[in-house]
Amino acid sequence: MEYRHLGRTGVKVAPLALGTDNILNPTPEAEAKKMILRGIEAGINLIDTANSYMRGEAERVIGETLKESGLRDQVLIATKAHYPTGPGPNDRGNSRLHLLRACEDSLKRLQTDYIDLYQLHRPVFDMPIDETLAALTDLVRQGKVRYIGSSTAPAWKVLEGILVSELKGYVRFVSEQPPYNLLDRRIENELVPMAQAYNLALLPWSPLAMGMLAGRYAEDNIRPEGSRARLRGGIYAERVTPRAVEVGNRFVKLAREAGYDPAQLALLWVKDQPGITAPIIGPKSVEQLEHLLPVLDMKLPEDIRIACDGLVPPGSAVANFHNSAPWMKMQI
């Protein structure tokens, strides 16, 4: 397997990361633990989670699994903070107060002394980033966090953090976690070039476009059983549009005619795009995980890359996977 550097660090990660947003919603705990162990066995060494996934219960399941198996030191735990953890005005955001509290709570649930990659789940625009970076720097110096990153932030906001860190001697972002798939390629316009210039790891989420690139959506008005569009609705359902489904099904046809499984090819396309470190997969079962694991050792042929560009040109989009980020004004 080709392991890749996590940005400018000396740490190497597998070209796929294991996402955990489905733990307990809908994946049962026993199945989730099996998925985590199978992923590690296959060579995946970055497990991504957040303190908001099932109100922290995903972190608990990860912590128990790694403690029971004795595999904590074989993996990198990446978690996030930002979203509300309580009803109060300070139970959210990227303030020093909230981040220090959130980190301590995550450490307890994960049953670990340190978090390998601590990420800002979303950016904040109404406070100086200095406060956030100073708090994260203290956590690193205390040994509670190894590296820091961000998620679903505009390129300028990530770069602001990098430059402020350089100016003031704060710990520096090593990664950004954006939405990215063949149906929404907008990060290629600014974020990807910036990440390549500043050696920032990119860990994309939703590489299968919620199943639209795996052939799960025959018609726009059908929400497949067990899909996020049906189970969660809201922003998830908003991403499923007639245009997105139509292009997604054209991709499915392309994949099958070329002899590929659509889900594997959709993931492979993201994995082998320029600047990408490791897309985050979010299987609901061990069976789904097994289906995606072969991508770890696959390479994207150039003719397939060109054919995909014909479906959705570089830098464009036919679905809005940035709809959980209010800063993205472009609508599809």
Active-site residues, by number, are 53
CA-CA distance, 248 to 244, in Å (whole number)? 6
- Residue 136 near residue 171 (C-beta atoms within 8 A): yes
DSSP letter at 46?
E
CA-CA distance, 329 to 332, in Å (whole number)? 10
Per DSSP, the three-state class of 92 is coil
Residues whose CB is less than 8 angstroms from the CB of residue 36 and which lie 6 or more positions away in sequence, other chains included: 18, 20, 47, 61, 62, 65, 66
DSSP letter at 279?
P
| Orientation angle between helical segments 129-141 and 96-110, nearest 10 degrees | 40
Per DSSP, the three-state class of 332 is coil
- Residue count of the chain, please give it: 332
- Residue 332 near residue 318 (C-beta atoms within 8 A): yes
